[in-house]
Amino acid sequence: MNSRRQLQKALIGYRMLIMNVRSYTFPMARLSARLFKNLNPNGLVLTGGMHASIATEEMQEVQEFDKICTGPGEKIIVSLAKDPAAFPRVFPAEGAKSMGEWPRIDRRLWPQPAGWFLPLKFNWPLEPACGWGPGPVATVLTSRVCPWQCVFCNENSYIPNMGRKPVDELIDELNDLDERFGVGSVVIHDSMFFQNPSYLKEFIDKYPRRARKLWPYWAAARADSVRQWPELFEALVKETNWNTVSIGFESGSDRVLRLLNKECTVEDNDFAIDLVNRIGDDMEKVGRTPVKFWANIILAIPGETREDAFQTMRMLRRMKRVLPSISYYAPYPGSVLGHQLIAEGKSLMSKDNYHRFPGSEKTRGVDYAFYRDLLAGKYEKELGGRTNYSDALIKA
């Protein structure tokens, strides 16, 4: 929605507003709850999501949030919606042991966009193309929660790991969506797709045989895991059409990678880059669309020197086929580094302006003018070539 008026129109006449609140959507969730209550004074606002787990007290301050579920809510959401009075205002919930327990989503229950959204033309309830592959796009999950502990992320500290969605169920769901709506490409929106080799081997074995089509897909990996299982990685790319490989490279400096507790090294990053460059060349030679990176890069990390940032940009320049996704570091609550910087009074973000605008200033003491110049291409000599990446400040 583009305006408060559109939002208001969409909220009139409902008895219940259910919201998954994340830190960067907290200000919008609060505004939506207030508008909803004004328009529907007897309506109820039910909330949950990551921000409810990591910043429960901020959620409690919003009087319009009638119920606040901390932790994964999949097992109680139906009971909650049926009988909200049976729950206290704030309550914890436990997730399922495996995604195999989740019923398949009936996407036709999603709101059908109308009016202002129609020019985008897409096959609701699938999604429009966002630049990763052709539309209509089917977004799916095969796993929840990444087991690593990068200090800017830490989702694993709040949501327990769980079993993956069985491979057969995943394939059945995609086939069904394709039959009914015509899938153009797939986004496997797991925080970390490339983990558990036994699952990935089963996927390679079954998916090419059972899927109606090998749709190009986007999914995430880590550079160190690619280095650990290169044959498995290459087989997935080539045999299942993993066309856009998202990797959180973050930095080209070992010092900064250690600071982020990334548990990946520059050598790991270089290995993944060389491998994907080579696989892409192979694919091109046989007339296939070459695999590319969706490369997540963080700049303006507190403690990062200019030379660290130059190393990062040089690393990016080594990727032959890449969609760069660059952001300035953001001290979100809930992450280890975020907690530390908030406690030290260095965060420029607050509950009124948590956001995901990748190029805004978020930490006190960082020389943002240098980073703007760096991305605008003013350090060609240091980087040895094309350096204008201003258009790559993208939120993933």
Q: Which residues bind ligand SF4 (CB under 6 A)?
A: 146, 148, 150, 153, 191-192, 222, 248
> Residue 108 is encoded by which pair of tokens?
């036709």
Q: What is the DSSP letter of 353?
A: T
Closest separation between CB of residue 144 and ligand SF4, Å? 11
For residue 209, the tally of other CB atoms under 10 A from its CB is 8
Contact 284, 329 (CB under 8 A): no
* Closer Cβ to ligand SF4, 146 or 393, answer by number: 146
* Closer Cβ to ligand SF4, 36 or 132, answer by number: 132
* Closer Cβ to ligand SF4, 248 or 338, answer by number: 248
* Closer Cβ to ligand SF4, 191 or 269, answer by number: 191
Contact 173, 180 (CB under 8 A): no
* Closer Cβ to ligand SF4, 80 or 299, answer by number: 299
Contact 64, 34 (CB under 8 A): yes
Residues 6+ apart with CB under 8 A from 36: 11, 14, 17, 43, 45, 64
Closest separation between CB of residue 237 and ligand SF4, Å? 19
Closest separation between CB of residue 20 and ligand SF4, Å? 18
* Closer Cβ to ligand SF4, 152 or 215, answer by number: 152
> Residue 201 is encoded by which pair of tokens?
């081997």
Pairing of the two strands 137-140 and 90-92: unpaired
Contact 95, 72 (CB under 8 A): yes
Closest separation between CB of residue 108 and ligand SF4, Å? 31
Round to whole Å and give the CA distance between 19 and 32: 9
Closest separation between CB of residue 301 and ligand SF4, Å? 13
